[in-house]
Amino acid sequence: MKNPWILSAVALGSGISTGAMADDTALSYNQLNTLLNGAERYGFSHYEKLDVDHDDNRFEIEGWRKDGWELDVSMTLNDATLMRESQRKSNTPDWSLTGEELRQALARARDRGMQRFEELEVDSDGHIEIEGYNGNQAKFDLELHREDLKPADFNTGSATG
């Protein structure tokens, strides 16, 4: 029979490392908001992907400017300083998220319990996947569709939620 003290210590240690992992790999909403403001100042108007890379201390953003140029940018996590950029002439696809839709998707994730952000991606069918951690430091995943982000959806006054 295994020693119950060792099993308890392993279980407790796993919980601590999960919380530490969430803190090390994900952003608070305040940190995320600062970085999104930096992306808007840089010129992003539509988004495809946001990704936190704590190993390299960077926030990676893929999307488009209003003039249709496709952007792939890395910014520092602490102050949104530009680290790397690539641009190419393109057309903004209809399925990409506007800044308002992006913030609505993130607000939906927060309302459903996400406390720390790790990644968001939208595909060409309008499917949105958001990853992060909840208040218990457990992995959080939310799947939405771009059509779910219509403004009328937030003002229904429904008691069901």
Q: How far apart are CA 84 and CA 70, in angstroms?
A: 14
* Contacts (Cβ under 8 Å, ≥6 apart) of 139: 131, 133
Give the pLDDT confidence of 50-61 residue by residue, as tens digits: 999 989 999 999
Q: Please report which helix (H) or strand (E) contains residue 141, including its range.
A: strand 139-145
Q: Can you say whether residue 14 is alpha, beta or left, with left for phi > 0 and alpha for psi between -120 and 50 degrees?
A: alpha
- The mean of the pLDDT values for the chain is 83
The two structure tokens encoding residue 55? 């190993």
Facing residues of 52 across strands? 59
Q: How far apart are CA 124 and CA 126, in angstroms?
A: 5
* Contacts (Cβ under 8 Å, ≥6 apart) of 27: 35, 52, 59, 77, 116, 117, 118
The two structure tokens encoding residue 53? 């890379």
This prediction has a pTM of 0.77
Whether residue 144 has pLDDT greater than 60:
yes
Give the pLDDT confidence of 32-82 residue by residue, as tens digits: 999 999 999 999 999 999 999 989 999 999 999 999 999 999 999 988 999
The two structure tokens encoding residue 69? 């140029």
Query: First vs last Cα of the chain: how many Å apart?
Result: 49
Q: How far apart are CA 74 and CA 52, in angstroms?
A: 10
Report which residue type is found at 158.
S
